[in-house]
Amino acid sequence: MAGRSVGETGEFEVIGAITAGLPTSAAVRVGPGDDCAVFSVDGDVAVSTDTMVENVHFRRNWSGPNDVGRKAVASAVADVEAMGARPVGLVMALTVPSELEAAWVSEFSFGVREECANAGVLLLGGDLSRGRDITATATVFGDLQGRSPVTRAGARAGDVLAVCGRLGWAAAGLTVLNRGFRSPRAVVVAHRVPEPPYGQGVVAQQAGASAMIDCSDGLLADLGHLARASGVAIDVDTSTLDVAEPQSVVAAAVGGSDPLTFILTGGDDHALLATFAASDVPDGWRVIGSVSHGEPAVTVDGAAWDGDAVGWRHF
């Protein structure tokens, strides 16, 4: 398909190149190419759907097609992890302009496959449509394997709040890109491809997590969702939050702002946030706050956060 556009190549050749030699498993009864994919599950099914739109969620001059494919998978899989389910399958609906080079779609699909492999998820099928902007909607299914889902609504006074994964890296990267720079590279890469802590959703469920959410809109925003769903107050202890060196570099470069702003309000890293009885926190999770009775709200070191915010607003 070298050098040709999607329109010149044709839908069926593009789809054939995307789906050739896809990995499969015994749980997949019917793979891509029929009216539906068919897969088997051991318990209840968790499902989430998530859209990324060109020039809203990503820019083609900031992220390569491989990055976009990986991010579309990672951000959707994180929602399944956040229910305590094992992610098993994914369908990808992709809309592209007819004049887009077919190579962009191939590289996007390599990214999708790569991140599906990282996440332990099988690409089951998809849809290819024409549109002005590149739009990717990933729908992911998780298998609860007979276990109960972990919702946002179960946090109890006395629980601790713990995190697994990075906070505020993608936001620092976006800040860098917005100012026309490409370094520190570590945070730019974090903006392009998040690294959700795959497998830790099941770990948290099995450890007895009382509530869980993935951090997509920003720590305070997502804890707000959890606090309201559970009817509890949550306090974040900033002495437990480590500012990483590249975050300090970016904060200094943008005029000495507080690097905690990235950590408290930056979204898109897809860390997992969960509440546990203090004795239940599993290895690899870090306690960063506490849950108490009170008006559903989130405080920082006991007070309302009145700093800036860099978190995600959809509209």
Binding residues for a second copy restricted to 32-71, rule: CB under 8 A: 33-41, 43-53, 56-57
Residue 133 C-beta: closest distance to a second copy, Å:
6
Which two tokens mark 163?
Answer: 């995190």
Question: How far from the centroid of its chain's Cα atoms is residue 255's Cα?
Answer: 29
Residue matched to tokens 């800036």: 308
Binding part of the chain for a second copy, among 3-11, 113-121, 172-180, 186-194 by CB under 8 A, reads 3-11
Which residue's CB is nearer to a second copy, number 39 or number 276? 39
Residue 91 makes contact with a second copy by CB under 8 A: yes
Phi, psi of 66, rounded to the nearest 5 degrees: -60, -45
Q: Which of 106, 120, 105, 108 is nearest to 23 (CA)?
A: 120
Nearest-approach distance from CB 216 to a second copy, in angstroms: 9
Residue 225 and residue 213 in contact, taking contact as beta carbons nearer than 8 Å: yes
- Measuring CA to CA, how many Å separate 176 from each of 121, 182, 185, 186? 32, 6, 9, 11
16 contacts a second copy (rule: CB under 8 A): no
Which neighbouring-strand residues pair with 162?
274, 287
Q: Which of 16, 23, 25, 30 binds a second copy (CB under 8 A)?
A: 30
Looking at residue 41, its amino acid is V
Q: Rule CB under 8 A: say whether 10 interacts with a second copy.
A: yes
132 and 264 in contact (C-beta within 8 Å)? no
* Cα–Cα distance list, 271 to 197, 230, 268, 277 (Å): 7, 20, 9, 20
Q: What are the structure tokens assigned to 68, written together?
A: 């976009």
Q: How far is the CB of 149 from a second copy (least distance, A)?
A: 5
224 binds a second copy (CB under 8 A): no
Q: What is the smallest separation between the CB atom of 104 and a second copy, expressed in angstroms?
A: 14
**139-198: which residues touch a second copy (CB under 8 A)?**
139, 141-142, 144, 149, 151-153
Measured in degrees and rounded to the nearest 5, phi and psi for residue 205 equal -60, -45
Cβ at position 70, least distance to a second copy in Å = 19
Q: Residue 172 or 232: which CB sits closer to a second copy?
A: 232
Can you tell me the distance from the alpha carbon of 99 to that of 8, in angstroms, rounded to the nearest whole number? 8
What number of chain residues touch a second copy (CB under 8 A)? 66
Give the x/- contact pattern for a second copy in 122-141, rule: CB under 8 A: --xxxxxxxxxx-x-x-x-x
CA 41 from chain center: how many Å? 23
Q: Determine if 218 is a binding residue for a second copy (CB under 8 A).
A: no
Q: Return residues touching a second copy (CB under 8 A).
A: 6-7, 10-11, 29-30, 33-41, 43-53, 56-57, 79-80, 82-83, 85, 89, 91-93, 95, 98, 124-133, 135, 137, 139, 141-142, 144, 149, 151-153, 212-214, 229, 313-315
